[in-house]
Structure 1
Amino acid sequence: MKAYWIAHVDIADADRYSQYTQRTPQAIAAFGGKFLARGGRSEAMEGRPTPQRTVIIEFGSYETAVACYRSAAYQDAKSYREEWARAEIIIVEAFAAP
């Protein structure tokens, strides 16, 4: 069953954050991940204010999504983000429709 990373990101320094975004696609691709949304237009309808970026990435399975996040390649990319952006990343498994 597919799974998704859902990330909400607020960026303090866009130039330095770009070092993260340059490294992330390779880490995601190595696990078969596919970007479905990557910082496009968004609007919060309920809850907290809209983050600067919302990213949704699809993986073939929950286990693969978790493995990608924990991988050395992604952890290296993440190290370029941590000082310059605040992120919330949730991994959620899709449901089987009846």
Structure 2
Amino acid sequence: MAKGYWMVSVDVTDPEAYKGYVAANAVAFRKYGARFLVRGGPAERVEGSLRARLVVIEFQDYATALACYRSPEYQQALALRRDASIADLVIVEGYDGPQPTD
């Protein structure tokens, strides 16, 4: 079964308040088995546009990724994030099909 992912591009506008969001989102992420694949770090835009911070979070499947976002636990954290950042967030199903070969 294909995994589910949150792909997030975010500009933090209030770093102190954002710390509250990070602490609060851990409750939902722990409950839904989230695993960070990308969490900030250096990035180089080579095409298009993006925000200052990139985050990719992996879930066991697409349904779990959606359930986490819609959960009361994450919605509480989200209320904190909205006051501390501007973000674009997409939830997407991973790909489990054939890959290019050499």
Normalised to the residue count of structure 1, the TM-score between the two structures is 0.93
Q: SS state of the match for residue 42, structure 1?
A: coil
The root-mean-square deviation of aligned C-alpha atoms, in Å, is 1.0
Letter in 1 for 2:32: F
Gaps of 5+ in 1: none
> How far does the alpha carbon of each residue in 1:33-54 deviate from its partner, in whole angstroms, 9 at most, with x for none?
1111111111111001x42211
TM-superposed deviation, 1:92: 1.0
Deviation at 1:73, TM superposition (A): 0.3
Task: Tell me which residue corresponds to 2:29.
Answer: 28
Q: Which runs of 4+ in 1 moved over 3 A?
A: none
What is the aligned partner in structure 2 of residue 93 from structure 1? Answer: 93
Q: Which residue of 2 aligns with 1:15?
A: 16
One-letter amino acid matched to 1:42: A
In structure 2, the residue matched to 1:73 is 73
Query: Which has the higher Rg, Structure 1 or Structure 2?
Result: 2
**Higher mean C-alpha displacement, 85-94 vs 21-30:** 21-30
The percentage of aligned residue pairs carrying the same residue is 41
Count of residue correspondences: 97
Partner in structure 2 of residue 61 of structure 1: 61
SS across alignment from 1:20:
helix
Q: Unpaired runs of 5+ in structure 2? A: none
